[in-house]
Structure 1
Amino acid sequence: MGADEVLEALYPLLLRHDSPEYIRSDNGPEFAAEAMQGWLRRVGIKPIRIYPGSPWENGYNERFNGTLRREVLNAEWFTTTKQAQIVINHWLRQYNHTRPHQALNMRPPVPETILEKPLISGPDTGG
């Protein structure tokens, strides 16, 4: 996925949910690309990139990415992109709606999200 695909995915979310003040990302080429960085600045979002080699600066995302990799990506063999999307969306629903999270006193995050923050994505997309 390159910067153009990230922007294609990001743009409808910003239209639907308003723009955040900041977006923090790692230093992957899709986020470091001038097209991405320039677009964020033009729409009034301050891009923040973590220091190279410092995954603890983005701990929540790094933890999530590791869990996704361990529980899904390393455990399954996908023959098509569509198959991967279906399996990942199923896992996301379970992760957000059913699975207990230690940091939330063994409750799933969706009830916390519903009570404290606006919903980012619907159940049909794994949110």
Structure 2
Amino acid sequence: DPSISGQRFVGGLVGLVAERGRPGMIVSDNGTELTSTAVLVWSGEAKVEWHYIAPGRPMQNGYVESFNGRMRDELLNETLFLSLAHARAVVRAWADDYNTERPHSALGYATPAAFASEIEKQRPGRVQAVASDALARHNNRRSLVPAG
């Protein structure tokens, strides 16, 4: 199952929200699973605003694109996966290392896990938007009404 359906993607979102809390907004590209009716319905029911970046404008989601590039360069281009289970295990180990062992200059040389822990201590229980307030005010939003 190397591809993912909108319904399966929503299942992952439900798990993330249960673990980390509901975000105010999610910013994504226009991938098939991200524009599915299942995602549109979930975002409406969960009261999570969804912002789609303009097609062909990955710089509008720079943090994610930077992460994707790093993962591609350090892991995906360098690894021959023997099976889907092997790929999942290797990707999980890489992500754990990225989030818990590597300091990031943009986070004051803290790891993402340590940075998130510190934010949670400062603002317990606060719902965090994934995007900046400026992006939240951006008027280039896609309607979240399911078709048909």
TM-score by length of 2: 0.72
Q: Percent identity?
A: 32
Provide the rounded CA distance (Å) in 1 between the counterparts of 2:19 and 2:99.
21
Relative contact order, higher structure (CA 8 A, sep 6+): 2
Q: Deviations over 1:58-113 (max 9, x none)?
A: 11111101111111111101121111111111111211122232223433222211
Provide the rounded CA distance (Å) in 1 between the counterparts of 2:99 and 2:46.
30
Deviation at 1:115, TM superposition (A): 0.8
Larger-Rg structure: 2
RMSD: 1.6
Match of 1:42 among 41, 45, 53: 45
Question: Which residue in the other structure is 1:124 paired with?
Answer: none
Gaps of 5+ in 1: 119-127
Residue type of the alignment partner of 1:11: V
Question: Which residue in the other structure is 1:90 paired with?
Answer: 93
Question: Which residue in the other structure is 1:8 paired with?
Answer: 11
* Structure with greater helix percent: 1
Q: Does 1:70 align with 2:70?
A: no
Question: Which residue in the other structure is 2:27 paired with?
Answer: 24
Provide the rounded CA distance (Å) in 2 between the counterparts of 1:29 and 1:74.
24
Provide the rounded CA distance (Å) in 2 between the counterparts of 1:44 and 1:18.
12
Q: Deviations over 1:21-57 (max 9, x none)?
A: 2111110000011221122112211111111111111
Question: Which residue in the other structure is 1:81 paired with?
Answer: 84
